[in-house]
């Protein structure tokens, strides 16, 4: 037996390595594991140069934009002032509605809405492969980020934190094949699950929507907030294509996310506010 | 191979991974990124012996998974299998010219695609049409960058060596 093992040690070693890979894969597919100590050490080596080079280029770009693109500043300033006045009015109206809403909820003894805090972060790395859609950000457990937190921008939902190290975290983008977000259609309140399709055009699909539901191209898809990962009402995207001539109960709804993932530099990590947290 | 040469090669591998995950890599904004570590695996397959080469390929895959949205073990299996195929081919062929290495690259890209196709059919619900588009873009970018990366790796390996690598 020993002789056999010694004779075929090369094959046995290679087979062992293959089985290790396969076991790692099988267990991780079942349930994604958090970063191990080795992963964290490797990240600690890679993150500082990634942070340094990204911030260097971002600073250079900012200098370029701030000092060399002053030509259209006056025009842009006027347009922004006009939009600010309009938004201020809208804000006032919404504030009034929020107060009224809160008072009515109390009257009806509704469950209190979850409140959130946001941690701004910068992207410092992209997925090394073309097949999966993830990003690395420069904030980690040291900044209070926890696994499972939502990630958004003012334009809409970006994804979810899947792994956290001390100084960096990995986001699974909503366009990844492994991603799913509970969603509602703004106009009709129809429910569905927004899933990534791994497309090179960064698209998603709204799954499990019955053919009887009225959905048309241009409809806005919002986060339902059911799992408390992201605040309710955050935009996910707009419907770009609807196909009803399919077999089965459900229609095909293609969704174009409102976030441009190719230009994504800054994000906000959503954290649930704890009771008595003043942040 | 001597220890300093190995060290330089590993540093080159780290450098390639760094470039591959860097957000400023000009490729990839349209959904396809070049696979620089596949090129690294090919060089490992040609110039490393069975056991150390297999371990390094496993580690390359492991490193990719730390930064990727893929599940653990996925890229280890892919790079490990590509390495095994190269070693088996080496029993019958000698990859001593850049043209042969280039042909090997095309073969390795196809192997990678079939491995992905197999796993995506059973595990991830990937649309075949999208897979084709991403595969085309990834192949294009990898082939475009291959002369530069191969030259870098060959230079790294023939560092302090009296004879040229090819």
pLDDT in tens, A200-248: 778 899 989 888 888 888 999 999 887 778 888 889 999 998 888 777 7
CA angle B140, B141, B147 (to 5 degrees): 100
Distance from CA of A276 to the nearest CA of B (A): 35
- Per domain, the residue ranges of chain A are 34-70+116-273, 71-113
Does domain A34-70+116-273 fall into CATH 1.10.10.350? no
pLDDT of residue B163: 46
Consecutive H or E run containing A86: helix A73-107
B chain contacts of residue A200, beta-carbon cutoff 8 Å: 30-32, 130, 133-134, 137
B chain contacts of residue A123, beta-carbon cutoff 8 Å: 23
pLDDT at residue B67 greater than cutoff 50: yes
- Residue B152: phi and psi, rounded to 5, are -60, -45
Which tokens sit at A105? 């909820």
Q: Is the dihedral of CA B152, B7, B69, A161 positive or negative?
A: negative
Inter-chain touch A54–B127, beta carbons under 8 Å: no
Inter-chain touch B21–A125, beta carbons under 8 Å: yes
Inter-chain touch A125–B138, beta carbons under 8 Å: no
Inter-chain touch A162–B24, beta carbons under 8 Å: no
pLDDT of residue A200: 72
Candidate from A226-230, B42-46, B62-66, B159-163 with smallest mean pLDDT:
B159-163
pLDDT of residue B159: 58
Residue of B17, B41, B67 to mutate when probing chain A, most A C-beta within 10 A = B67
Q: Does any CB of chain A come closer than 8 Å to the CB of residue B9? A: no
Q: Which residue in this structure is represented by tokens 């991830």?
A: B124
Taking residues B86-115, what's their average pLDDT?
87
pLDDT digits (tens, 9 = 90+) for B5-49: 677 778 888 888 888 888 777 666 666 788 889 999 998 888 888
Inter-chain touch B134–A53, beta carbons under 8 Å: no
**Closest partner residue to B30 among A22, A123, A200, by Cβ?**
A200
Q: Which residue in this structure is represented by tokens 């990678």?
A: B112
pLDDT at residue B2 greater than cutoff 70: no
Considering chain B, what is the average pLDDT of its residues?
Answer: 81
pLDDT of residue B107: 92
Residues in CB range of A166: below 8 A, 6 or more apart: A40, A44, A140, A141, A142
Chain B residue with the nearest C-alpha to that of A263: B29
Inter-chain touch A35–B66, beta carbons under 8 Å: yes
Taking residues B89-103, what's their average pLDDT?
85
Taking residues B46-58, what's their average pLDDT?
86
Inter-chain touch A28–B80, beta carbons under 8 Å: no
Q: Which parts of chain A register pLDDT below 50?
A: 278-279
> Would strands A169-173 and A134-137 be described as parallel, antiparallel, or unpaired?
antiparallel
Q: What is the band of B133 on the pLDDT scale with cuts at 50, 70, 90?
A: confident
Q: Is the dihedral of CA B2, B8, B13, B16 positive or negative?
A: negative
Residues in CB range of A54: below 8 A, 6 or more apart: A122, A123, A124, A138, B22, B23, B24
Residue that wins the pLDDT comparison between B52 and A6: B52
């Amino acid at each position: 037996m020993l002789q056999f093992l010694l004779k075929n040690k090369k094959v046995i070693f290679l087979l062992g390595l293959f089985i290790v890979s396969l076991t790692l894969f099988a267990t991780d597919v079942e349930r994604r594991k958090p970063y191990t100590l080795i992963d964290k050490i490797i990240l600690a080596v890679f993150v500082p140069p990634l942070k340094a080079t990204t911030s260097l280029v971002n600073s250079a770009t900012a200098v370029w934009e701030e000092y060399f693109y002053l030509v259209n500043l006056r025009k842009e300033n006027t347009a922004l002032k006009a939009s600010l006045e309009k938004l201020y009015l809208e804000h006032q109206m919404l504030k009034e509605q929020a107060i009224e809403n809160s008072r009515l909820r109390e009257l009806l003894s509704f469950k209190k809405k979850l409140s959130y805090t946001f941690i701004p972060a910068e992207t410092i790395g992209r997925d090394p492969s073309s097949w999966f859609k993830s990003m690395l950000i420069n904030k980690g457990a040291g900044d209070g980020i926890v696994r499972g937190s939502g990630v958004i921008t003012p334009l809409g939902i970006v994804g979810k934190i899947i792994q956290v190290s001390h100084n960096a975290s990995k986001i699974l983008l909503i366009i990844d094949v492994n991603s799913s977000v509970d969603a509602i259609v703004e106009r009709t309140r129809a429910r569905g699950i927004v899933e990534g399709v791994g497309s090179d055009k960064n698209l998603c699909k709204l799954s499990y929507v019955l053919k009887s539901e009225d959905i048309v191209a241009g409809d806005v898809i919002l986060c339902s907030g059911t799992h408390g990962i992201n605040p309710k009402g955050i935009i996910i995207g707009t419907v770009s294509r609807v196909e009803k001539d399919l077999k089965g109960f459900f229609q095909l709804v293609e969704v174009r996310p409102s976030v441009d993932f190719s230009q994504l530099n800054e994000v906000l990590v959503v954290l649930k506010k704890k009771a008595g947290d003043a942040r | 191979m001597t220890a300093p040469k190995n060290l330089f090669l590993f540093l080159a591998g780290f450098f390639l991974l760094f470039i591959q995950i860097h957000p400023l890599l000009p490729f990839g904004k349209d959904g396809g990124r070049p696979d620089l570590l596949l090129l690294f695996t090919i060089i490992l397959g040609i110039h490393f012996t069975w056991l150390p080469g297999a371990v390094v390929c496993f580690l390359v895959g492991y490193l990719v998974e730390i930064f990727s949205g893929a599940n653990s073990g996925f890229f280890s299996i892919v790079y490990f299998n590509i390495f095994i195929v190269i070693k088996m081919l080496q029993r019958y062929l000698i990859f001593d010219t850049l043209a042969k290495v280039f042909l090997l690259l095309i073969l390795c890209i196809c192997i990678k695609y079939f491995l992905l196709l197999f796993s995506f059919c059973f595990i991830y619900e990937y649309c075949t049409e999208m897979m084709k588009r991403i595969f085309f873009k990834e192949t294009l970018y990898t082939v475009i960058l291959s002369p530069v990366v191969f030259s870098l790796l060959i230079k790294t390996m023939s560092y302090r060596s009296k004879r040229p690598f090819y």
